[in-house]
């Protein structure tokens, strides 16, 4: 059972007891991501995430790592478009250590100038590594051309220029404006003593009184029909098509997931079976939805030989036309819903995945759906829902294209997408 509480300083806490396990996962969620950045500080959210591991007034970077390593636990963090999460997974008996280490990182990080300069080099290498991964780069390029100049299309890592210019004062000001008590959620899942947990959290958060009201995003992202390409001297061509999708919490999200399973979401999907298995034109081809607070995107990806671009585009176009005209068969519809339910339940088998699920939902949607509610929503999807959403999503007026490889243009792919 999922329960909600508030600490005395206003920080939200959401917990789920799983008494039959011996582990507990703890996450500190901050409602800030790359969407909250601008052209001058792009990458600062991710950079701050790195810096919280670089030493506090109580621990060196090595001691932070050793604190969790020495008890066989896991300590990590990630930055996304809309949030940042610092988390630990430990044996239930070691929960006090996890709370102590994460709160120390959050409240007592020193941001020394020496460590900032060191970490700039680390992140710049991370950016270079990303540049050498065209299969990842093409998805960033798609977001950039689709959302035009909106920050939702900016890279999470930032750019070499912006990262190089970060200074201690910039980082601390950004934290002051975004790491606020109303913008933090603590999520805990596993086997733990609830009274002990809240005693520990109250003690650690007692002196944290940053109540600055975080400003809302002033401008909602809009979806444009655009194309972009990046020339890279590589053998494979990486190809993405993006469509306007469904935002988080919208009633059409589950019909979209049901449709995507059949269309391109698995190895048994139409895209994979037709383009890879039957015709051998791609090593990798799939589709997936992305949902954000204000907008969503449906993406089709293919890694192909450059000479096969036109043929693969035609096949994708044909599959879109077919699913719009004919919809799903009864068998596909039933199997997709069962697959969706199975994936959902299996995805919640660990305490870390449960912690992530409840923490992210509380932070971004201010509510958490129970497992029963989610399964009921999947069961409630009708064939008519899927048909309607399919027509809403696959609209050639909202189809953007990104290409990374030996290309000098989009090769007219946008014009070929007509359905």
The answer to whether residue 66 is catalytic is no
3-state secondary structure of 6: strand
CA 404 centroid distance within chain? 22
CB within 8 Å of 174: residues ≥ 6 apart: 41, 44, 45, 48
9 with 209: CB under 8 angstroms?
A: yes
Do the strands 12-17 and 184-190 form a parallel or antiparallel pair, or are they unpaired?
Answer: parallel
152 with 221: CB under 8 angstroms?
A: yes
The residue from 49, 82, 115, 119 that is catalytic is: 49
Q: How far, CA to CA in Å, does 135 sit from each of 63, 97, 124, 152?
A: 36, 39, 19, 19
Cross-strand bridge partners of residue 285: 302
Q: In terms of Cα–Cα distance, which of 176, 175, 165 is closest to 51?
A: 175
44 with 209: CB under 8 angstroms?
A: no
Q: How far, CA to CA in Å, does 163 sit from each of 97, 142, 198, 232, 328?
A: 32, 22, 38, 23, 47
Residues annotated as catalytic are: 49
């Amino acid at each position: 059972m999922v329960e909600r509480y508030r600490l005395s300083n206003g920080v939200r806490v959401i917990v789920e007891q799983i008494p039959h396990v011996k582990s507990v996962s703890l996450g500190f969620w901050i409602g800030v991501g790359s969407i909250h950045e601008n052209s001058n500080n792009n990458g600062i959210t991710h950079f701050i995430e790195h810096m919280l591991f670089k030493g506090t007034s109580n621990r060196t970077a090595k001691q932070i790592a050793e604190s969790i390593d020495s008890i066989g636990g896991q300590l990590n963090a990630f930055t996304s478009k809309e949030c940042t999460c610092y988390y630990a997974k430990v044996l239930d008996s070691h929960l006090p250590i996890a709370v102590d280490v994460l709160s120390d990182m959050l409240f007592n990080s020193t941001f020394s100038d020496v460590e900032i300069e060191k970490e700039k080099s680390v992140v710049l290498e991370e950016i270079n590594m990303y540049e050498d991964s065209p299969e990842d780069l093409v998805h960033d390029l798609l977001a950039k051309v689709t959302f035009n100049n909106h920050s939702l299309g900016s890279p999470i890592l930032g750019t070499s220029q912006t990262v190089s210019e970060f200074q201690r004062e910039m980082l601390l000001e950004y934290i002051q404006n975004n790491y606020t008590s109303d913008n933090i959620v603590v999520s805990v899942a596993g086997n733990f003593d609830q009274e002990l947990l809240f005693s520990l959290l109250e003690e650690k958060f007692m002196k944290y009184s940053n109540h600055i009201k975080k400003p809302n995003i002033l401008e909602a992202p809009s979806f444009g029909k655009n194309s972009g390409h990046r020339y890279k001297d590589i053998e494979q061509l990486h190809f993405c098509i993006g469509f306007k999708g469904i935002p988080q919490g919208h009633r059409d999200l589950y019909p979209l997931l049901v449709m995507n399973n059949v269309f391109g979401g698995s190895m048994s999907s139409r895209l994979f079976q037709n383009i890879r298995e039957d015709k051998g034109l791609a090593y990798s081809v799939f589709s997936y939805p992305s949902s954000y607070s204000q907008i969503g995107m449906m993406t089709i990806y293919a890694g192909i030989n450059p000479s096969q671009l036109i043929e693969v585009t035609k096949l994708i176009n044909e599959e879109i036309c077919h699913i719009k005209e004919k919809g799903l068969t009864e068998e596909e519809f039933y199997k997709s819903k069962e697959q969706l339910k199975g994936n959902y339940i299996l995805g919640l088998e660990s305490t870390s995945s449960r912690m992530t699920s409840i923490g992210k939902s509380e932070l971004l949607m201010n509510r958490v759906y129970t497992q029963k509610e989610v399964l009921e929503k999947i069961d409630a999807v009708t064939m008519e829902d899927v048909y309607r959403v399919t027509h809403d999503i696959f609209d050639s007026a909202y189809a953007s294209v990104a290409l990374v490889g030996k290309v000098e243009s989009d090769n007219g792919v946008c014009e070929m997408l007509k359905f």
